[in-house]
Structure 1
Amino acid sequence: MSKSILSVIALAVIAAMSSCKEPETEVQRVPLVKTIAVKANGLSERRDYPGIIKPQDELSIAFRVNGQIKSILDKSGMEVRKGELLAALDAHDYEVNLDAALAAYKQSNNEFERIKQLYESKTISPNDFEKAEAAHRVASSKYQAAKDASGYTRIQAPFDGYVQNVYHERGEIVQAGMPVMSYISKNALKVEVFLPFCDYERMENLTESQMEVNGKSVPLKLGSISRQANAAQLYKAEFHIQPGEADDMVIAGKNCQVRLTFSASSEENIVRIPLSAIMSVNNEAFVWVLENQNITTKASVKIRNIDHDEAVVSGLKAGQQVLTSGIHVIKEGDTVKIMPAQSKTNIGGML
């Protein structure tokens, strides 16, 4: 019998044996998953935002009268103490007016004292006394106005600070109200932060605010917050740095990190879960939660903050079992098997 005939017979026998086997029943495989118990977030939530340090007071320095600049601190960045002279006008004309007003006031005062004595002795009529009294008030007002105008020719530093910008030079003639320099505070600093609406609407729940700069934490105090969002839909909040809390390296213009801590009401159920547990479909975040008999169900969550490999979310309750692995092959209502925890003494399952 040839080899080709034997090969044909062998194949036929194998085919017959295969056809006689009973069909294997398909075994349903139960997904093996990892879970974690949801941790409560301590009813508080922290958010970090970039901020910039700015002077709390930034003034445009201007004279209240017209005149020619006689002296001015013209070096930007110059440190100035409270009460030091920032700028002065040529006060000659104002001093002349003051001398004239003073002389008129003294004469009016003497005349009024004489009229008053006559009136008390009933030598003159009440009408004459009232006219003299009115004239004396006019002279007194003119003297006070001349005195004020003379004082307005000098501008002194309202607080310790720095000359920021200088807009005019000595010898120039300036009008009243025209800025001659900008001036910023030295010790009074603030931090400017821009917040989204989700944090803006709960600023009343703010419990702590601090600034991270130069490797140090500096406490802050909320000063003000805008009531209208900017073009980027962000709200500007200003936090004050308390005097003595910051060192000399904390200066205006420096960037920093601001950490805000909010209290959460018990109804919000703020909890922490691993990022690996969260899925997103159609811009909706959800997780798989184990119910009785290890059956999976979908639970929607709202992400409040991300901290490294964890997320702070609302929509869950502390103690719930959340899937952290195998989440992409799970369907609603699936029964799963929880992977046993790894033994600390049998790492790798070798024993």
Structure 2
Amino acid sequence: MKNTLLLLPLSLLLFSCGNKPKPETIDNTAIIPVKIMPLEKQGAALSIAASGQFTTDDEVYLSFKTNGIINNILVKEGDPVRKGQLLATLNLTEIDAQVQQAQLGFEKAQRDYQRTQNLHNDSVATLEQLQNSKTSLDLAKQQLGTAQFNRSYSAIHATQDGFVLHKLASTGQYVTSGTAVLQTNGARNAHWLLRIGVSDREWAQVKTGDKATIETPSIPGSTLSGTVTRKSEGIDAQSGTFIIDIQLTGAMPAAIAAGMFGRCHITASGNNSSTAWSIPYAALLDGNGSSGFVFITNDHKTAQRIPVTIAGMEKDHVLISEGMEQAKALIISGSAYLKDQSPIRIIQ
């Protein structure tokens, strides 16, 4: 009787343990619940994100033609200027003296030539002497023209309507010929550009005429439109990138100035645009530059870890150009718990 009473609780315990649900396993390996996204062999248009600074296509560094001491700079940084406006002058004492010397030399050459011509007419001077005198007169005339030309470029005038971007020298400073004194642009003509730097892969995907959208902190909540107008044919030594110019189109807002920061998204029309897949950020693992990994499944039972090539970034997606050609479904949730060949269970 006692043995019967002892066996009864034991049998109840075994019965309750037998009814407890067991975790899903295959050969002691946990089955990971995941969410998937079907993949089709249709590419998404590549969108290349890059940042740069606003500038214009007609920035120019202005300098004096001759050496000298700066007498006066008549503008400040940020000042608007008109085409032909006087911006800076040199001390003309030395330059005026050079012009006067050339003028005196020309007048003497004129007198010498006239005298030689009279002597030649009287058969006193030879034809050779007359020709040499004419050559000296021509040389003196050219020297006078050169001196007058240099004097005219001993002052700096605005080459176009625009603004003064930078003042690179000061009054009283000695400058040599060609030394930049002022930098101006033609912003009044609204030739605004966003100049960006991109990698060699991105450079190859972008073509002249591709469209872009541009954002800048100076105009929060708004976007500007642009078109790729120039691609550099060589790498920029300072930044180590390839330079691309995006011309702003449409009405130009007043809240843009040279040097302001801007960010753009270019819709690339390169050859790779037909083989790009747009996937969520969460599906990409171990992203490093242009490479990364994703988990896919072709049988809905096993996860496969495959390498992929990153073609670009969008606001909430990553663009993949290579590596997913044979994939049927992308795992977009649960990837953190997966390994290559992990068993999976699809959940909604």
CA gap of 1:74–1:320, structure 2 versus 1, over 3 A, is same
Question: Residue 53 of structure 1 contacts residue 254 of structure 1 at CA under 8 Å; is this kept in 2?
Answer: yes
Alignment pair present for 1:135 and 2:103: no
Alignment pair present for 1:176 and 2:176: yes
User: Could you tell me how far 1:54 is from its partner in structure 2?
Assistant: 3.3
Q: Structure 2 CA distance, aligned partners of 1:267 and 1:189?
A: 28
Q: Structure 2 CA distance, aligned partners of 1:173 and 1:31?
A: 75
Question: Residue 67 of structure 1 contacts residue 174 of structure 1 at CA under 8 Å; is this kept in 2?
Answer: yes
CA gap of 1:229–1:196, structure 2 versus 1, over 3 A, is farther
Task: Write out per-residue CA displacement over residues 166-213 of structure 1, whole angstroms, 9 at most, x where no aligned residue.
Answer: 6323xx363433858322214154433233444245455883344334
Alignment pair present for 1:250 and 2:253: no
SS in 2 for 1:44: coil
Residue of structure 2 in register with 1:302 after alignment: 309
Alignment pair present for 1:207 and 2:210: yes
CA gap of 1:295–1:146, structure 2 versus 1, over 3 A, is closer
CA RMSD across the alignment: 4.5
Report percent identity of matched pairs: 17
For normalisation by structure 1, the TM-score amounts to 0.71
Alignment pair present for 1:263 and 2:269: yes
Task: Write out per-residue CA displacement over residues 107-158 of structure 1, whole angstroms, 9 at most, x where no aligned residue.
Answer: 6457657868998999975533431232122212221122123213322112
User: Could you tell me how far 1:324 is from its partner in structure 2?
Assistant: 3.0
Matches within 5 A, 1:184-333: 184-187=184-187, 188-200=191-203, 202-203=205-206, 207-213=210-216, 214=219, 215-220=222-227, 221-222=229-230, 224=232, 227-228=235-236, 230=238, 234-235=240-241, 237-239=243-245, 241=247, 246-265=252-271, 269-280=275-286, 284-291=292-299, 296-313=303-320, 314-317=322-325, 320-327=328-335
Question: Residue 214 of structure 2 contacts residue 225 of structure 2 at CA under 8 Å; is this kept in 1?
Answer: yes
CA gap of 1:243–1:202, structure 2 versus 1, over 3 A, is closer
Q: Structure 2 CA distance, aligned partners of 1:258 and 1:266?
A: 20
Q: Structure 1 CA distance, aligned partners of 2:43 and 2:345?
A: 30
Question: Residue 200 of structure 1 contacts residue 235 of structure 1 at CA under 8 Å; is this kept in 2?
Answer: no
Which one of the candidate residues 164, 167, 191 is aligned to 1:165?
A: 167
Unaligned runs of 5+ in 1: 342-351
User: Could you tell me how far 1:333 is from its partner in structure 2?
Assistant: 5.4
Unaligned runs of 5+ in 2: none
Letter in 1 for 2:311: R
Residue of structure 2 in register with 1:79 after alignment: 80
Question: Residue 40 of structure 1 contacts residue 272 of structure 1 at CA under 8 Å; is this kept in 2?
Answer: no
- Counting matched residue pairs gives 329
CA gap of 1:237–1:290, structure 2 versus 1, over 3 A, is same
Q: Structure 2 CA distance, aligned partners of 1:240 and 1:267?
A: 20
Q: Structure 1 CA distance, aligned partners of 2:306 and 2:173?
A: 73
Query: Is 241-250 or 144-153 further displaced after alignment?
Result: 241-250
Which one of the candidate residues 11, 16, 22 is aligned to 2:6?
A: 11
CA gap of 1:124–1:320, structure 2 versus 1, over 3 A, is farther
Matches within 5 A, 1:21-170: 33-39=34-40, 42=43, 44-56=45-57, 59-91=60-92, 94-95=95-96, 97-99=98-100, 101-102=102-103, 104-105=105-106, 108-109=109-110, 112=113, 125-163=126-164, 164-165=166-167, 167-169=169-171
Structure number with larger C-alpha Rg: 1
For normalisation by structure 2, the TM-score amounts to 0.71
CA gap of 1:195–1:128, structure 2 versus 1, over 3 A, is same
Question: Residue 218 of structure 1 contacts residue 245 of structure 1 at CA under 8 Å; is this kept in 2?
Answer: no
SS in 1 for 2:318: strand
Q: Structure 2 CA distance, aligned partners of 1:14 and 1:65?
A: 112
Question: Residue 61 of structure 1 contacts residue 182 of structure 1 at CA under 8 Å; is this kept in 2?
Answer: yes
Query: Is 210-219 or 94-103 further displaced after alignment?
Result: 94-103
